[in-house]
Chain A
Amino acid sequence: MAEHEVVVVINQQQAELLDKTVARGHATDRPALVRRALREFAATHPPVQGRPETK
């Protein structure tokens, strides 16, 4: 299985949030958390759906 590297650029505050999320057991590390986010977000946001509400 091929692997493709994507580099997500975040700041230290975003990193802190991700690291706390990992520390709470939601993933083994930052990359695993990102991959989980991608899979779960894609499952609930079919490509035709509009922009999610974020703030």
Chain B
Amino acid sequence: MNERSIVREFVMEPGTGRAVELLRGQILRVEQIEGGQCADFNCFNLHDYKEFLHTGRSRVIHGLHLTKGHFLWSAPPRERPIMYILEDTAGCNDTLFPRCTGTLFESLFDLPVHTNCQDILAEAEREYGLTPDDVHDSFNMFMHTSIRPNGEPYIAPQKAKKGDYLELLALIDVLAVPNVCGADVTATSDFSLKPLKVVIYQASETDLAAVPPIRKLSSQRTPADFKVKTIKADRPLRRDATYRPEFTNVPLQRIPCPVLLSDDELALLQDLKATGLYGATDSEVLRFVLFSWWMEAFAPHINQKP
């Protein structure tokens, strides 16, 4: 089918969110009605809620500001692409800031009862039996952020205009949960909360063909690989008396690797050591240099292709 078809559409009013079942090959479009509105986003494997979007992994692979051509990844140990950003007309998405919370508004603004993304997402996810503890770190659509030279993150004025939209293609069946961010006393949405339009499409062949090949890795584990197969259903944590540690590659060994350096090479090593940046001993500096060089030579950025 080379034409998209609309599956459903609705408007999210300020202070609300919606949990939406999105089957593999369907597209979630979140669209600005008035402009300047942030939307926080959660996403779960529809058939196993313990697999969910991991903002941190997505951020490290693609950068702080996810956009067209990037994937949303699930948390380790599943760690696979679960959604693909097909389109992004505003170009201001954030993976830096956590969702706003009731505690944030009470502590900073003395507003103990206030719209906030933690509670909005929790309320939307409650429709599927999830608890407030299940709300996860959000991917923040239409949130304009950056970092000051001193390393401090900040929220900049909105860039999203009326009609701007973000489209996410589901790569597996998911429960997608967008909301209208509840932060109206910070700059997140230019100090006013506005509705957002949501459209679900059945993707066209062109849409599906836009997704780059996805590499499967043996380290992307599933519950079949887990030593504990069942999900804990009670709250207290109790020690398993039969537990025996089985950590990977333990014990780690100390393997001496002798290297003969020429006069010139030793001089290079001493120059690097004198900077004080790479270690205290010749051995430490050479190891630091070795693996730093390897990263630069063979993994020049930590962006990874799926």
* Residues of A participating in the B interface, judged by any CB pair closer than 8 Å: 1-15, 17-18, 21, 30-31, 33-42, 44-45, 47-52, 54-55
Contact = CB atoms under 8 A, between A and B. Distances in A.
B289 A13 contact: no
5 contacts: A4-B266, A7-B283, A8-B286, A21-B298, A33-B290
A35 B265 contact: yes
A52 B256 contact: no
B154 interface: no
Nearest to B261: A4
Contact of B283 (A1, A6, A38): A6
Interface string B244-273: 000001001111111111110110110110
B254 A14 contact: no
Interface string B277-292: 1100011001101111
Contacts of B287: 8-10
B290 A5 contact: no
Nearest to B274: A47
B257 A10 contact: yes
A3 B261 CA distance: 5
B260 A54 contact: no
A42 B271 contact: yes
Contacts of A51: 277-278
Contacts of A8: 256-259, 283, 286-287, 290
Nearest to A51: B277
Nearest to B253: A12
